[in-house]
Amino acid sequence: MILAPGNAYKRLGADGEDDLIGAGIHYCATCDGPFYKGASELLVVGGGNSALEEGLFLTQFADRVRIAARGELTAAKVLQDKVDHHPRITVHRGAQVESFAGKGGRLTEVVVNTPDGEQRWQPAGAFIFIGLDPNTGWLAGTVDLDRWGFLVTDVGFATSVPGIFAAGDARAGSTKQLGAAVGDGIAALIAIRGYLQAHSDLRRVDINA
């Protein structure tokens, strides 16, 4: 068996967020950023590596990119230096998104609490990068998960249960990239072939054994 349940993007839980997903609120800049070519302003929410990388990517489409981090930036220093010195990026530390508003099926306003008080921004689109939740809750108690809920595997993609392997974004240590997930699947299949060859007498695997 190969487990590949994937992940779900974490949401802010701000008012109006659910209503505008795909209509101004997005969770993948490389997927949806090009739709905003020529925009005056875009918003990125988050302070980690993904948020800053995607913010830098979005500068090729918009005149200005705001990055709103709830606290201090947690991304690698080299990324922090890049965004702090980029002429098209403004970083807002200590910024908490309170609500999104839309009209005519598109995002029109974002209300943000900042150290300088409440602000109202009008980005053409908002991109949320505050982490991922693995879809592994149903596996608790069956195979080993790390403290964040990701599937723990050895170098051969095997889980803690003999005969069960894992691949893709829900695997601990994965890069959370499509190409890497495909590679995981191929490597896991090869590992399974080796497992079956070594256990050719098996008819089934009892996960409760």
Domain identity same for 149 and 113:
no
Task: Identify whether residues 77 and 144 lie together within a single domain.
Answer: no
Same domain, 22 and 118: yes
pLDDT of amino acid 203: 59
The sign of the torsion formed by the CA atoms of 117, 122, 127, 132 equals positive
List the domain range (segments joined by +) for residue 190: 136-198
Together in a domain, 115 and 142? no
Domain shared by 167 and 119, yes or no: no
Instruction: Confirm whether 3 is domain-assigned.
Output: no
Q: What is the CATH number of the domain that holds 172?
A: 3.50.50.60
- Which residue, 111, 128, 145, sits at the end of a domain? 128
Query: Would you state the pLDDT for residue 138?
Result: 94
Please tell me the distance from the alpha carbon of residue 2 to that of residue 9, in angstroms, as a whole number. Answer: 22
122 with 145, same domain? no
Residues 107 and 191 in one domain: no
Q: Domain boundary residue among 128, 147, 178? A: 128
**Predicted local distance difference test score (pLDDT) of residue 104:** 87
Instruction: Say if residue 35 is in the same domain as residue 124.
Output: yes
Boundary residue ending a domain (128, 146, 168): 128
| Any domain includes 207 | no
pTM of the model: 0.77
61-80 core/surface letters (b: 16 or more CB in 10 A; e: else):
bbebbbbbbbeebebeeebb
Domain assignment of residue 28, yes or no: yes
Domain count, the chain: 2
pLDDT tens sequence for the chain (209 residues): 999 999 988 999 999 999 999 999 999 998 899 999 999 999 999 999 999 999 999 999 999 999 999 999 999 999 999 999 999 999 999 999 999 999 988 999 999 999 999 999 999 999 999 988 899 999 989 999 999 999 999 999 999 999 999 999 999 988 777 788 899 999 999 999 999 988 877 656 555 65
Instruction: Say whether both 60 and 119 belong to one domain.
Output: yes
Residue 156: inside a domain: yes
State the DSSP code for 171: B
| Residues 120 and 162 both lie in one domain | no
Q: Is 2 domain-assigned?
A: no
* DSSP, residue by residue, 4-33: ---EEE-----BTTGGGBTTTEES-HHHHG
Same domain assignment for residues 117 and 155: no
Q: Could you count the other beta carbons within 10 Å of the beta carbon of residue 190?
A: 12
Residue with tokens 């943000």: 112
